[in-house]
Amino acid sequence: VGNVGSGKTTFARELSRAVGYKNIDIDQWFQIFRQEQQHEAADLKELLGYILQKEKPPFIINHADLLRQDLVQDADMVVFLNPKREEQLKSRQLRTESGAEGEWQAVNTDDYDKIAEQNLDKLQGLGGEAKYTNEKSGTIVRVLENK
C-alpha cells in the first residue's frame, strides 16, 4: 500500500516475480468484474471479495486505499511504501507527461501527507510485528498475526 506514485505497482510486480506469487492487477480486475457482472459500479471491498472467489492465495495485491478502507484483514503481510513527497510528485509528473490515465488524477497533491499519515495510523493499528523499517525510503513491512 502507499500513496499515488509511491512505487506500489513496480514493487508488487518485482516481488511477485521474486517469490513466485501471482500479481493481482486491480485495474484489470475492475474491468473483468464489470464485464462479468454487467454493471459499472463496484467498490473496492466488493471487488476484493470477487477476486477471492476467483483466485486462490497466495498472491500479491496493491492499491492505494487498502489500508484506509480497512481492507487488509485477510492479508498475511502488509508492505507500506511511503517515499518522500518529492519522489511521488516526480512519478506523478512522469505519468502526466506520458498521458497516463487513471484515478490517481483525482488525488490532490496537497493531500499526499494526510493520506500517508492515515495509512501509517492504520498500519500501526493492525497489530502483528514490524519486520522491516527503513526511514530513508519510507518502507515498512508488517507481518500480521494469523486470525
Q: Which residues pair with 80 in a beta bridge?
A: 140
**In terms of DSSP H, where are the helices of the chain?**
8-19, 26-37, 44-54, 85-98, 112-124
What's the half-sphere exposure (Cβ side, CA atoms, 13 Å) at 136?
0
Q: Which pLDDT score, from 0 to 100, does residue 78 have?
A: 93
pLDDT in tens, 46-105: 899 899 999 999 999 998 889 888 998 888 999 999 999 899 999 989 989 999 887 788
Q: Which pLDDT score, from 0 to 100, does residue 64 have?
A: 85
Put simply, whether the predicted model's pTM sits higher than 0.75 gets the answer: yes
Give the C-alpha separation, 26 to 133, whole Å. 26
pLDDT in tens, 1-43: 998 889 999 999 999 999 999 999 888 898 888 888 877 767 8
